[in-house]
Structure 1
Amino acid sequence: MKTSPIAILAALLVAAPSLAQDAANGEKEFRKCKACHMIQSPDGTDVVKGGKTGPNLYGIVGRAAGHEEGYKYSDALIKLGETGEIWNAADLEAYITDPNTFVEEKVGDASLKTKMTFKMNRNQADVVAFLAQHSPDAGGEAAAEAPAEAAEAPAE
C-alpha cells in the first residue's frame, strides 16, 4: 500500500510538538531561570543551584499552582491555585511566555499580578520538557501534552 504525501505530512504535523521538545536544550535555556529559581529534590539534592526569589521548581509539572511549601506566593498565584490549576506542559509554556496574561485569562481578573516579571520568548517547550524530567508527578508524558499551537507561537 502506497502512502500519500498528504498522509505523511499530516502524521508529521501531529508528531511535531513532541519532536520540537528538547530537554537538553531546555536545561541550557533554564540558565535564564536560575537567577530566581532552583531545582532541588526533596532529599536536598541540587539538580540546578539557583536563586530563592522564586519557588523551587522540582516537581512543578503535576503540582497545584501556588502550592510550594515555604514559598510566599503572590495573590495572583494563590487565586490561580484556588481555581484548581494543576501545572501541565501546555499551561507552563503559556505561563512562562507571559505570566500575568496567563493568570488574567485563567482567573478573569486583570488586577492580579504575579511576582514573575520575566517573559520567555522562545524555547518554552524545551524548558518545560526539562522541568518535566524533574517532576515525579508528571506521569512521563507531561512534556508531550503541549498543543501544536504552543509550538507555533511567534517569537518576540
Structure 2
Amino acid sequence: MNLLSRGTALALAGLGLWSAPATAQDVANGEVQFGRQCVACHVVRDPEGRVLAGRNARTGPNLYGIEGRVIGSVEDFRYGDAMIRLRDRGMEWDEESFLGYVTDPTAWLRATLDDRRARGKMAYQVRDPQDAADIYAYIEGLSTRSEAAN
C-alpha cells in the first residue's frame, strides 16, 4: 500500500471503491503465519548460523534462501524419495513450486513427478493460498535482508 494509508484503504474498501490486489503479499501476515504454521518444524537460519525466524526446529529443512535453491538439497537433511527425485532432476524452488507444495504437498509431488504414488514427508498443509504467499514473501524477505546486511 504505497500510495494509500491503511486507514484510507480500509475506508475506501468499505465503500466498495477500492480493493487490494488479490495477489498482493503481506509480509507482516507472513511472519504471523510462519509463527503459527511453520515454526514447529522449520527454521530460517542464515549461513553464519543466525536464526532469523523460528527456533531450532529440525523436523523440516532450513528455509533460508529457498528461492532458486535446488529442491531437496539442504545438507544433512534426510529427504523422502520424491524430493530426492526432484533434486536429481535439478528442479529449483520458486514461488509457484513453494505455493503448490505447502498447500498440498502430496498432490503437488504427484503432479510434478507424474507419479500417483509419490509422497513426501510433510503432511501439514497451509490451507489458505494467500497465507502461503505471505509466508513465502516473509521467508524470502528474511533471506534478502540478511544477504544485504552482509
Q: Which amino acid in structure 2 is aligned with residue 96 of structure 1? A: V
Q: Which amino acid in structure 1 is aligned with residue 42 of structure 2? A: H
Choose which of 47, 57, 64 in structure 1 pairs with 2:63: 57
1:38 has 2:43 as partner: yes
CA distance in 1, matches of 2:105, 2:91: 14
CA distance in 2, matches of 1:64, 1:99: 17
CA distance in 1, matches of 2:54, 2:98: 21
Deviations 1:58-111 (A, max 9, x none): 111211100001111111111122232111111101110000111111111122
Conservation of the 8 A alpha-carbon contact between 1:100 and 1:112: yes
Residue in structure 2 matched with residue 25 of structure 1 by the alignment: 29
Conservation of the 8 A alpha-carbon contact between 2:103 and 2:126: yes
CA distance in 2, matches of 1:86, 1:71: 17
State TM-score, norm by structure 2.
Answer: 0.75
Helix, strand or coil for the counterpart of 2:52?
A: strand
1:125 has 2:123 as partner: no
Shift of 1:114: 0.5
Conservation of the 8 A alpha-carbon contact between 1:39 and 1:58: yes
Conservation of the 8 A alpha-carbon contact between 1:27 and 1:130: yes
Q: Which amino acid in structure 2 is aligned with residue 39 of structure 1? A: V
Which ranges of 4 or more aligned residues in structure 1 deviate by more than 3 Å?
none
Deviations 1:23-62 (A, max 9, x none): 1110110011010001111101011133101101111121
Higher mean C-alpha deviation, range 104-113 or range 120-129: 104-113
Residue in structure 2 matched with residue 106 of structure 1 by the alignment: 112
RMSD: 1.7
Count of aligned pairs: 122
